[in-house]
A and B are shown apart, each in its own frame.
Chain A
């Protein structure tokens, strides 16, 4: 029996019309596939109909990486920090960036976010070379970085923090209603039920809630790439778990997510690919499903593991 014969998995090559198509239906039972999924006629891969969940905004998953850095060099004075680094991040995937202290993770993130300008190398976004001279340039492309310190203002409420510097206006006044609505939608999209009012001051929020607000601020703007620098560093287990689930959900919604973490469990729990920096060099960029914990630890600490990493 081929896949197409299976009653639960019909392959529709012609536009679907339940009324006209009934006489041809082999099976009477209404399968979940019939009712839960519809054909996305516009997105076909080589003539094979693609099935997408209903009611979710679906970003087509590109084969090419959204973010593609090649040959990045960076020095601070005489201190060489990054050497010929290549790094990619793909839509719909979590790419974990790991490395020992001082391996260059944060410097690379600052290059991605436009805070540092690389000395050499190529920065490609969605397949085209771009020039990123400032964080504003990166944000304009849809690249958002959530830094370790979160950069939230304690004295402002959640909505004010989310829109700080990018407030919505209606005429001369701020459009508070629209901003509140967007804040609620974004936070509920992250499945945050424990936040309470969006007008709560940030100073009253817990560590996990602050992390969520910082992530919400990053995804509010139709972002395409979100970089999270050690999001669970200062959190307890329950909050870490929630943040990990949010990270995973962002990627499942079609964003390219870059996760920097020291915790191998967190990395293996949510990542699709792992990029390992060792002394300023990218020694491995592998699929998480193909490697073991031991291999990644060896790559982080010695730059090589078996046939992965640096040649000796």
Chain B
């Protein structure tokens, strides 16, 4: 079936979004650079920038620093980072993080709260809402919040953001996004996404995966999560549950997993297993990242129990990566969260298993990297997710948000 070509208005909206996305992801750029990079002529760039400036999304100024070129300098287009922002939430098993992230990806302000395991999940909403409100209060008077998103360690249905399963952080039937949105009272929905999926988006947009459109992100927290970017997009599957790499069975009949199965990747390489192998379960009064790092540190100092634990975990992680490489042929595999430390501490074992366990052809060019965004992969991903709407249709979204009288009618 033929479909009608895009209208003038569609083209303009697309170009506005493309330009805004460029300065959002790549930073301030001169009109000349924009014209060259986006393949548009300079008068079009000028018109688009004028629209975005009028909407308060970007501003133009003379380039900073001494200009070396002759002639009139090309104006630099900068995102209005302090005036246009999103709220990004990370719910972890051990910590809660809230950030106000400005257009351009600048973290303007953040709050972090530690969470004790097993504490009442109903408190999460209250803590997040209070933190977010204090961030919003400190923003500039004319600043506008254009979106909010939350990363959660569990499987989330795309259609209604319902959390279907969170083995390490059970919140029951609580509609986290709706509840938080109501408590915030900003007239904005709060999207809920799987944390590792957001991590994949973040590393693809701003981290180790820039320029690589087929990548796999593996995230270690208490459990193991994953996000798959294929052809530049997140692979969500039919209902958005895709990427649950942690529950790929690598060792049939192996250790029991919180999901009810046995020998899942999470059960063989997760935090509890590493600590159990290293005889450190509960003993040192540490948990979470610190405990994992302590094992890697001990192994580096020559502790044979810690080395053996890392070796065993590395073996299963290697099998997991080998399966992924065979099935998906990624250009890049990124290890984030505690898996960064485990990768760097057990790389020899992981890559040895990969060398013998994966097919030669897909193995040949795959790059293994650690997350460039460190511990903020989920947070950065949540921010990018929250910006998606304004980047798709900048002027309309801004106009709607700047006229709260009309939009607050539910």
Contact = CB atoms under 8 A, between A and B. Distances in A.
A192 B21 CA distance: 27
B6 interface: yes
B14 interface: yes
B14 A265 contact: no
A56 B363 contact: no
B86 to A, nearest CB: 18
Contact of A30 (B18, B22, B346, B351): B18
B146 to A, nearest CB: 18
A18 interface: yes
B231 A22 contact: no
Contact of A294 (B6, B40, B352): B352
Nearest to A52: B211
B348 A293 contact: yes
Given A18-B39, A240-B300, A289-B364, A36 B231 contact: no
Interface in A82-128: none
B232 interface: yes
Contact of A17 (B6, B39, B297): B39
A221 interface: no
Interface string A31-49: 1111111100000000000
B39 A15 contact: yes
B354 interface: yes
B258 interface: no
Interface of B: 5-6, 10-11, 14-15, 17-18, 21-22, 25-27, 37-40, 44, 204-205, 210-211, 213, 229-233, 293, 296-297, 300, 340-341, 343-352, 354-356, 360, 363-364, 366, 369-370, 372, 392
B213 A32 contact: yes
Interface of A: 6-9, 15-19, 22-23, 25, 28, 30-38, 51-56, 191, 236-238, 240-241, 244-245, 248, 264-270, 287-294
B344 A241 contact: yes
B232 A18 contact: no
Contacts of A191: 372
A53 B356 CA distance: 32
Given A32-B213, A51-B211, A8 B11 contact: no
A36 B211 contact: yes
A19 B344 contact: no
A283 B15 CA distance: 56
12 contacts: A18-B11, A18-B38, A19-B15, A33-B213, A37-B211, A54-B22, A56-B211, A236-B297, A236-B300, A237-B293, A265-B344, A293-B351
Given A8-B233, A36-B210, A54 B349 contact: no
A55 B27 contact: yes
Given A35-B22, A248-B369, A265 B363 contact: no
